[in-house]
Amino acid sequence: MNLSEGTTGSNLDLFGASPDASQEYWKVAVPAGMLQALTYSVPLSIARDERFRRGQGVIVPLGKRKLQGVLLDRTERDEKIKTKDIIAIDEDRPCLPEPFVQWLEWLARYYVWPIGHVAEMSFPLLDKAKNARQKERKSKHAPIAPELELTRPPELTAEQAKVIGDIQASSGFNAHLVHGVTGSGKTEIYMRLLEKVVQNGQQGIVLVPEISLTPQLIERFTRRLGNAVAVIHSHLTPRERTNQWWAMIEGKKQVLIGARSALFCPLPNLGMIVIDEEHESSFKQDEKLKYNARDAAVMLAKFSKCPVVLGSATPSLETWHNAKSGRYKYHELKLRVADRSMPTIEVIDLREERDVRKQTGENDLPFWMSQTLFTAVKETLEKNQQSALFLNRRGVAQAVVCPACGYVPECPNCAVKLTLHGKSHLLCHYCDYHESMKERCTQCPDGEPKPIGLGTEMIENDLVRLFPQARVARMDRDEIASREDLERMIKDVENREVDILVGTQMIAKGLDFPGLTLVGMVMADVAFNLPDFRASERSFQLLTQVSGRSGRHLDEGAGRVIIQTYNPEHPSIQFTCAHDFEGFAKFELSFREMLGYPPFWRLASFRIQGLDFEKVTSTAKRLRTRAQALQARSPNFASIEILGPAQAPLAKLRNNHRWQLLVKGPDPAALVAFCRHLSENQDWVPAAVKVVVDIDAVHML
């Protein structure tokens, strides 16, 4: 027996194994701020548990805390660090499906964000046991997905039938762009596709912008798909969210409708993702994990080997470019349903209007309202139809100014002018700082501050005066503080209790009001004058979407749209009037290509911010030096362009000074790697300064 002992001994030496040769080491995604996963050792009892595999939740120690993490891969022991044991399998969390785990890893890598924090987004706030223990409370809002009588689907239009047939003809992963004019029946297409997904025993996700997630929309889906529908949005209580989440995980519901975070529900059997209004910039999350839900959805579908459907009347140029280059399949709907016409669009040149008034001396209309718009509102009222007037600016006046010395009150915390609300309330739209307007200027002896510019509140006031018999309502962030407010307002408009609706872009977002036949853009210029390379695109989208609210249900004649502007020749207006998306896209893309902007090149922005201006400035400059040094070290990064640093357009926000450094390049992988390198080691950044990277940045202010 000496021999066998000797053999065993030499084997041990050969493989260099220690007495704990059977010890396993695993990477765990732990929500604690490190970019990488941590390595833990696994006690045998846990390693042998049949639930122990990639994607399973586990409880691990970190310092003195116990945290919930997600198991990733088996790994080698790292001699340099003393590993701790995994404490237990997490009984509260289901195992995440493999494609979903791959997707989480992609998100963490691509958006340069800690894998543990990314994984954490996949779980509801309350754990299962705690949720079950909590007493059922009566919810204060309407049922989440109400039980309603099912309605018979309409006969599909030829265009709808073709799109559905074409999408269903392909299997596995495919990205589809459904480009359909406003009112062409895209939602009907989504519902038919999802019906099929459910029939096949699979599940689907429908992402819509938070603001479109109205009872109106949910009702449309529940009237067709019945109790297969679950809904997740940010206004649910943690308990409601948790219940909806489990209903999907346990397969009690099949179709999840939600804002961008619904994507993080780890469905066991994902068969399709739909993203409505895919062009919406609200799909991009601004803080923490700066993901774009549209792009992330395409990746999730890819890992899950299922189709993803992106729908819009005004696709983002990124998606349009993908469709034109053949990466996405393109489907078009050129006509509104039931032979309804597209609205007619008139452009009013406010400069001419101003000159005419000067000459004739006629002055009874407010400066923002042209004679044409006034007459149109009057006629619409007489026909008992509804009008909506739109301006992308809240308040009574954009600012107040002292005519004697030119002083304009600004927010002490942000580099923005204070907006006038009501009679004398000066408000910062970024941090909610407010003060009351003084009758006398604080900076000079004899000035009396006067309001300048325009806001929705002033429009409302003027309308009440001009049309005393009309019922006027305002829909903006001042009036609509909560989801309940929004729902009530929508009901009022639907029930014809409102004749004229005044609003900011809120009313542009997908609402479908049968009685609405006149849309007025009070001053279209507000959108395209922003310092952002996407300003033109946004402006075109906004104008087209707002126009699309008009006359959606008119079986005779067409809805009317009146665009007032000081720049009638601006391309975003010209192409909107011609209902020419393709022309606009071509025009705009030629600039983007020339300047090396998305969708041709990728762009990322580093934001450098902090309370101390000097420190922020010097950190921004050092970041540039580091970026240049990094570029010099690797030929991989040769094609990357470094722009700035420069102060952000909003140079100060809530007392934080803000700088940005932009980097862009033709090779996405190289750009992301570059940003990763630059972000990884932040030992050089002063404690009071934050440097964060935003890959595929959307919000540039």
Q: Distance between CA atoms of 421 and 460, rounded to whole angstroms?
A: 12
Q: Which entry of ligand ADP, Zn ion, none binds 479, CB below 5 to 8 A by partner kind? A: none
The two beta strands, 88-89 and 270-276, are unpaired
DSSP character string of 523-577: -THHHHTSSSTTHHHHHHHHHHHHHTTTTTT-SSS--EEEEEES-TT-HHHHHHH
Cα dihedral across residues 366, 369, 375, 376: positive or negative: negative
Q: Distance between CA atoms of 371 and 423, rounded to whole angstroms?
A: 27
Print the binding letters for residues 479-518 with ligand ADP: x by CB under 6 A, - otherwise: ---------------------------------x------
Contact 473, 493 (CB under 8 A): yes
Q: Which entry of ligand ADP, Zn ion, none binds 186, CB below 5 to 8 A by partner kind? A: ligand ADP
Return the range that interacts with ligand ADP (CB under 6 A); candidates 149-157, 352-360, 404-412, 570-578. Answer: 149-157
Give the residue with the Cβ less far from Zn ion, 228 or 414: 414
Give the residue with the Cβ less far from Zn ion, 286 or 355: 286
* Residue whose token pair is 């018979």: 152
Q: Which entry of Zn ion, ligand ADP, none binds 157, CB below 5 to 8 A by partner kind? A: ligand ADP
Q: How far is the CB of 216 from ligand ADP (least distance, A)?
A: 10
Q: Which one-letter amino acid corresponds to residue 447? A: G
Give the residue with the Cβ less far from ligand ADP, 184 or 282: 184
Q: Distance between CA atoms of 694 and 681, rounded to whole angstroms?
A: 16
Q: Distance between CA atoms of 299 and 95, rounded to whole angstroms?
A: 20
Residue 452, classed as helix, strand or coil, is strand
Q: Which entry of ligand ADP, Zn ion, none binds 337, CB below 5 to 8 A by partner kind? A: ligand ADP
Give the residue with the Cβ less far from Zn ion, 164 or 414: 414
Give the residue with the Cβ less far from ligand ADP, 160 or 319: 160
Print the binding letters for residues 155-174 with ligand ADP: x by CB under 6 A, - otherwise: xxx--x--------------
Q: Distance between CA atoms of 295 and 672, rounded to whole angstroms?
A: 15
Q: Which entry of ligand ADP, Zn ion, none binds 430, CB below 5 to 8 A by partner kind? A: Zn ion
Return the range that interacts with ligand ADP (CB under 6 A); candidates 44-52, 178-186, 365-373, 438-446. Answer: 178-186
Q: How far is the CB of 178 from ligand ADP (least distance, A)?
A: 9
In DSSP terms, which residues pair with 521 in a beta bridge? 390, 563
Site for Zn ion in 423-442 (CB under 5 A): 428, 430-431, 433
Q: How far is the CB of 419 from Zn ion (least distance, A)?
A: 10
- Cβ-in-10-Å burial (0-12, 13-18, 19+) of 365 comes to middle
Residue 99 within binding range of ligand ADP, rule CB under 6 A: no
Q: Distance between CA atoms of 233 and 273, rounded to whole angstroms?
A: 17
DSSP 8-state symbol, 135: P
Give the residue with the Cβ less far from ligand ADP, 514 or 668: 514
Q: Which of 338, 356, 632, 638 forms a contact with ligand ADP (CB under 6 A)?
A: 338
Q: Distance between CA atoms of 517 and 264, rounded to whole angstroms?
A: 39
Q: Which of 117, 176, 186, 624 forms a contact with ligand ADP (CB under 6 A)?
A: 186
Return the range that interacts with ligand ADP (CB under 6 A); candidates 185-193, 267-275, 621-629, 675-683. Answer: 185-193
Query: How many residues sit in the footprint of ligand ADP (CB under 6 A)?
Result: 17
Give the residue with the Cβ less far from ligand ADP, 156 or 415: 156
- Cβ-in-10-Å burial (0-12, 13-18, 19+) of 431 comes to middle
Nearest to 118 by CA among 36, 181, 193, 227: 36
Residue 184 within binding range of ligand ADP, rule CB under 6 A: yes
* Residue whose token pair is 């589809």: 176
Residue 187 within binding range of ligand ADP, rule CB under 6 A: yes
Contact 437, 400 (CB under 8 A): yes
Site for Zn ion in 389-418 (CB under 5 A): 411, 413-414
Q: Distance between CA atoms of 248 and 54, rounded to whole angstroms?
A: 21
Residue 294, C-beta contacts closer than 8 angstroms, at least 6 positions apart: 207, 275, 278, 283, 310, 316, 319
Residue 203, classed as helix, strand or coil, is strand
Q: Which of 337, 373, 507, 678 forms a contact with ligand ADP (CB under 6 A)?
A: 337
Q: Which of 94, 180, 209, 644 forms a contact with ligand ADP (CB under 6 A)?
A: 180
Q: How far is the CB of 462 from ligand ADP (least distance, A)?
A: 31
Contact 169, 322 (CB under 8 A): no
Query: How many residues sit in the footprint of Zn ion (CB under 5 A)?
Result: 7
Return the range that interacts with ligand ADP (CB under 6 A); candidates 115-123, 153-161, 448-456, 534-542. Answer: 153-161
Give the residue with the Cβ less far from Zn ion, 187 or 419: 419
DSSP 8-state symbol, 231: E
Binding site for Zn ion (CB under 5 A): 411, 413-414, 428, 430-431, 433
Binding site for ligand ADP (CB under 6 A): 154-157, 160, 180, 182-188, 337-338, 512, 552
